Amino acid sequence: MTKTDLIEKVSLKTTDLTKKQTEIVVNMLFDSIKEALATGDKIEIRGFGSFRIRNRRNREGRNPKTGESVSVPGKRVPFFKAGKELKELVDGKMEV
Same domain, 89 and 68: yes
What pLDDT digit, counting tens, does each position of 7-27 carry? 999 988 887 889 999 999 999
Kindly write down the DSSP assignment for every residue of 35-80, as one continuous string: HHHHTT--EEETTTEEEEEEEEPPEEEE-TTT--EEEE--EEEEEE
Mean pLDDT of 43-65: 95
Q: How many residues does the chain have?
A: 96
Same domain, 46 and 35: no
Per the structure, the count of domains in the chain is: 2
pLDDT of residue 96: 67
pTM of the model: 0.77
Same domain, 7 and 47: no
Same domain, 1 and 33: yes
What's the domain range around 1? 1-39
Among positive and negative, which fits the CA dihedral 91, 94, 95, 96? negative
**38, 56, 85 from 66: Cα distances, Å:** 35, 25, 47
Same domain, 95 and 50: yes
